Amino acid sequence: MVKSRILIIDDDALMREYVEEALTRAGHACETVSNGREGIQLVRGRAFDLVVTDLKMTPMDGLEVLQAIQKESPDTRCIVMTAYGTVETAVQALKDGAEDYILKPFAPDELEVAVSKALERARMKQENRYLREEVNRSYDVAAMVGDSPAMREVYEQVQRVANSRATVLVRGESGTGKELVARALHYRSPRASKPFIKVNCAALSAGLLESELFGHEKGAFTGAHDRKIGRFELADEGTLLLDEVSEISLELQPKLLRALQEREFERVGGNQSIQVDTRIVSTSNRDLEEAVEQNEFREDLLFRLNVITIRIPPLRERKEDIPGLMHHFLARFAAENGRHIQGFSKDAEAALMDYDWPGNVRELQNAVERAVVLSTSKTLEPRHFALESPTRKRSGGDGMFSVPFGSSVAEMEKELILSTLERCHQNRSQAAQVLGISVRTLRNKLHEYNQRAEE
């Protein structure tokens, strides 16, 4: 479990020692100061999870200390200690933002209970902040719709693996629903009531990704004005999804490997070892074994991530699932857009079944949504999908690709990259070699296209 950092402020040396001994014995990391000014200076220089302060002190009393700490570090919780004669002042401290107060004299277990409750409330607020962000995003569970033998095997694997602590690597092409499998693993596990935290490894530079994963201490680098709790720590007792794990830089991979092996790490700029019980699920649309051969991924890290593999089949390998997906998306988007569309014509159904869907379920979802929005009829026809247009049918048997007359250079570049990647069966290393660019350049281009598609 994560060891909390607590600052104790009291001008009574015996009381400071008493509180420090009780909280250290309870497993917390404590620091003590004899007055409010010293305490505020410490809070400015480093981050604490909790401050335990006396109310009656000089030259600053506890209320002044509380107000200053809230200004310097709003996320730091405070507990005030007070004698019976100043209960009214303690109540005022609660109104001013204190988490709780405790009356002197108190037993060690009373203090431990008050501190545990305050830390738990702080943790819940932090988790709720992330949960609200998750709820506000759109996750389409329909991406796992399907009763094909291939998908039934996926469901059975999820059921078998969910209750274990083993790390899982979910493989599959872009748009197949890898994240949804990761969520199913979490919500069918004993960790379902704990956080599910995701980080997109391809969207951040090495430095930013390290901070996102492990957090950083105040002052660790320019712009680090406060302590940041990393995703590993936020997902303690829950699940952390490393999306597109293949894109983690070689420089960061050793630290990730250690975190997986030892279940502990240090924040950027910190020296305190933080222990967590975080289950790791990762996704990749790349051939990681090939990345190892190309010296782009550590073999020992692959072994650690790949304890259990779940492969999500592309839509072209489970075409019997297309009708169910089509009608699900139609019902959803018709309701969202207030459209009364009865269904698909036979020709439209045949066209959707014949198409190979290189973008998988995500492409089918987007195609149905676009057809629902643009159609003026009660039945969707092939023309509403334009599956045979040059921009959709990128490559033919001769390996050529075509774009409409009047396309910009940027559009032609995009079509060339996507068609080459398709011809290379989504193998980025091979596609980059054919195009004469680096894998990193290819990755950045694909990330740029994904961002535009989400806007």
Give the DSSP letter string of 138-169.
---GGGG---SHHHHHHHHHHHHHTTS---EE
DSSP annotation string for 421-448: HHHTTT-HHHHHHHHTS-HHHHHHHHHH
CATH number listed for the domain at residues 317-454 = 1.10.8.60
Task: Give, as one character, the DSSP assignment of residue 193.
Answer: T
- Reading the block at residue 260, the tokens are 């997986």
- Shared fold status for 5-133 and 142-313: yes
- What is the reported pLDDT for 401? 57
- What is the reported pLDDT for 374? 87
Strand positions, DSSP E, 369-427: 379-380
pLDDT tens digits in sequence order for the chain, 455 residues long: 567 899 999 999 999 999 999 999 999 999 999 999 999 989 887 778 899 999 888 888 888 999 898 888 887 889 999 886 666 777 788 888 888 889 888 999 999 999 998 888 877 777 666 555 554 443 333 346 778 899 989 989 998 999 999 999 999 988 888 988 999 899 889 998 899 999 999 888 888 899 999 999 888 888 787 888 899 999 999 999 999 999 899 999 999 999 999 999 999 988 888 999 999 999 998 899 999 998 999 999 999 999 999 999 999 999 999 999 999 899 989 998 888 898 999 999 999 999 989 889 988 998 999 899 888 888 999 988 877 443 444 444 444 555 555 567 777 888 888 888 877 777 787 788 778 787 778 888 887 877 665 44
Angle at 271 between CA 265 and CA 274, to 5 degrees: 35
Burial of 58 (0-12, 13-18, 19+ CB in 10 A): exposed
In this structure, how many other beta carbons lie within 10 angstroms of the beta carbon of residue 15?
Answer: 16
Domain boundaries, the chain: 5-133, 142-313, 317-454
- Reading the block at residue 370, the tokens are 């676009």
CATH ID of 5-133, from 3.30.2270.10, 3.40.50.2300, 3.30.565.10, 1.10.275.10: 3.40.50.2300
CB 291 within 8 A of CB 429: yes
- Strand 5-9 and strand 50-54: the pairing is parallel
Q: How far apart are CA 124 and CA 130, in angstroms?
A: 10
CB 344 within 8 A of CB 160: no
In this structure, how many other beta carbons lie within 10 angstroms of the beta carbon of residue 349?
Answer: 17
CB 35 within 8 A of CB 59: yes
Residue range 414-444, pLDDT digits in tens: 888 888 887 777 778 778 877 878 777 888 8
- What is the reported pLDDT for 405? 55
Query: Rounded to whole angstroms, what are the CA distances from 137 to 133, 140, 200?
Result: 7, 10, 14
Q: How far apart are CA 73 and CA 5, in angstroms?
A: 14
**Residue among 34, 25, 5 nearest 107 (CA):** 25
- What is the reported pLDDT for 13? 93
**Residue among 237, 132, 112 nearest 186 (CA):** 237
CATH ID of 142-313, from 3.40.50.1820, 3.40.50.720, 3.20.20.150, 3.40.50.300: 3.40.50.300
- What is the reported pLDDT for 421? 82
Angle at 422 between CA 453 and CA 143, to 5 degrees: 55
- What is the reported pLDDT for 140? 36
- What is the reported pLDDT for 85? 60
Q: How far apart are CA 103 and CA 81, in angstroms?
A: 6
- What is the reported pLDDT for 144? 64
Q: pTM value?
A: 0.60
